[in-house]
């Protein structure tokens, strides 16, 4: 069993597979340190006698999260996976700057996430908007440790009906926007930062009418490989996170009616070994892994989070 500190009274235990430690001394900087799942700590408290807790737990209690003190930028943070990830990042101790084009949704998301969130309205395909985003980040935080380049759009259009407008919209947002989101973050990113690119299982699948979208996501996956090499001297890790079908508002744009949207979702379910589509929070938990030191030796990968859909 690991030991967190040897000063003062050390209490440590293993609860439900999670390692928790309470470290206490006479110093004013006493902290309660947590390693492992919050659930483990809750159980630990449950088992400890209240008097023991009063004696050993210092006045200032600090629950260290996996992203304590980190600054994260999340594009498309006002909805779906971006919003769920922003909430998880903040719960793990980070401060987040989220973006999106719709001001009302952005304001609502910032309110929902809480005081450690800042919203900057902007379109990722507009380079001046990205410059403004990073000006705010620089002014408010001075750096960015984690970028989750998540903003993206999807449309179902078969090859015969693809228009220039459809092509430009998807490539401008999903490819150009993602590239410059990352490029413009680099001057503010310290060595050892983490970049997470939201790709898709579409990067390796051949889904009808999803040709242009899939090509954008294949490009995103490719960026993770090239940028891992470009940024290796700075020890910046770049990974693609590739979700399978996830229940988010992006589906609403795939069919004109709710019935049509439901039919698309049902169609996906039958192709997923785990028998359901995923939730935004299931993506957020993996984003925390890729953002944090838990994935310190992981770079250049495409991590599929798809209930097995693209794996069988
Ligand atoms: N849901 C799925 O099944 C699935 C599967 C694989 C991959 N993905 C990918 O996951 C990412 C997140 O999508 P989601 O499913 O969470 O959908 P969502 O709820 O619709 O979120 C998309 C986000 O992107 C933002 N966005 C779109 N275009 C933008 C632009 N030009 N500039 C700035 N922000 C923009 C949207 O905000 P505004 O509209 O306010 O701009 C919104 O916050 C996308 O890259 C998507 O391709 C989704």
Reduce the DSSP state of residue 203 to 3 states and report it.
helix
| 148 membership: H or E segment, kind and range | strand 146-149
Number of neighbours of residue 102 by Cβ within 10 angstroms? 12
Angle of CA points 247, 98, 168, to nearest 5°: 70
The pLDDT assigned to 254 comes to 87
Mean pLDDT lowest among 3-17, 96-110, 147-161 = 3-17
Average pLDDT estimate for 234-238: 99
Give residue 76 CA to ligand 1 midpoint distance, Å.
6
The pLDDT assigned to 63 comes to 64
27 vs 271: which has the higher pLDDT: 271
Give residue limits of the domains in the chain: 9-56, 71-305
Decide if pLDDT at 4 tops 90: no
* Closest ligand 1 atom to 246 CA: 3
CATH fit for domain 71-305, picks 2.30.110.10, 3.30.230.10, 3.90.850.10, 3.40.50.720? 3.40.50.720
Reduce the DSSP state of residue 71 to 3 states and report it.
strand
Average pLDDT estimate for 124-143: 98
The pLDDT assigned to 211 comes to 98
pLDDT grade, residue 64 (50/70/90)? confident
- The residues pairing with 23 across neighbouring beta strands, listed in sequence order, are 10
User: In terms of DSSP H, where are the helices of the chain?
Assistant: 38-47, 50-56, 80-91, 103-113, 127-141, 164-171, 178-183, 211-230, 258-269, 280-291
Average pLDDT estimate for 214-243: 99
Reduce the DSSP state of residue 97 to 3 states and report it.
strand
In this prediction the pTM is 0.84
Which tokens is 18 given? 């999670």
Pocket of ligand 1 (CB under 6 A): 75-76, 78-82, 99-102, 105, 123-125, 150-154, 173, 177, 198, 200, 243, 245-246, 248-250
Rounded distance, CA 177 to CA 181, Å? 6
DSSP designation for 278: B
Rounded distance, CA 100 to CA 113, Å? 15
227 vs 20: which has the higher pLDDT: 227
Which tokens is 24 given? 């206490």
Give residue 141 CA to ligand 1 midpoint distance, Å.
25
The pLDDT assigned to 52 comes to 44
Mean pLDDT lowest among 14-18, 186-190, 207-211, 294-298 = 14-18
Average pLDDT estimate for 200-226: 98
Percent of the chain with pLDDT over 90: 79
**Closest by CA position to 231, among listed 185, 199, 172, 200:** 185
102, HSE (Cβ side, Cα atoms, 13 Å): 9
């Amino acid at each position: 069993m690991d030991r967190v500190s040897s000063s003062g009274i050390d209490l440590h235990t293993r609860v439900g597979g999670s390692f928790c430690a309470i470290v206490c001394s006479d110093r004013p900087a006493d902290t309660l340190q947590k390693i492992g799942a919050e659930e483990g700590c809750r159980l630990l408290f449950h088992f400890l006698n209240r008097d023991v807790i009063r004696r050993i737990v210092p006045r200032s209690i600090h629950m260290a999260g996996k992203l304590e003190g980190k600054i994260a930028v999340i594009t498309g943070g006002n909805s779906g996976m971006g919003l769920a990830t922003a909430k998880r990042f903040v719960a793990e101790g980070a401060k987040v700057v989220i973006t999106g084009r719709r001001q009302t949704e952005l304001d609502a998301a910032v309110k929902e996430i809480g005081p450690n969130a800042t919203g900057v309205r902007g379109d990722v395909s507009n380079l001046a908007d990205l410059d403004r985003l990073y000006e705010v980040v620089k002014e408010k935080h001075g750096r960015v440790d984690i970028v989750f380049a998540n903003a993206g759009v999807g449309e179902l259009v078969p090859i015969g009906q693809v228009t220039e407008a459809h092509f430009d919209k998807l490539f401008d947002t999903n490819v150009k926007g993602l590239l410059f989101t990352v490029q413009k973050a680099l001057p503010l990113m310290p060595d050892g930062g983490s970049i997470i690119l939201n790709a898709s299982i579409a990067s390796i699948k051949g889904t009808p009418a999803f040709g242009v979208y899939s090509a954008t996501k294949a490009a995103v996956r490719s960026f993770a490989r090239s940028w891992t090499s470009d940024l290796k001297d700075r020890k910046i890790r770049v990974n693609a996170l590739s979700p399978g079908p996830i229940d988010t508002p992006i589906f609403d744009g795939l069919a004109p009616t709710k019935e049509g949207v439901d039919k698309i979702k049902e169609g996906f379910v039958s192709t997923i070994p785990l028998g359901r589509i995923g939730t935004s929070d299931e993506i957020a938990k993996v984003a925390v892994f890729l953002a944090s030191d838990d994935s310190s030796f992981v770079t250049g990968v495409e991590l599929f989070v798809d209930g097995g859909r693209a794996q069988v």
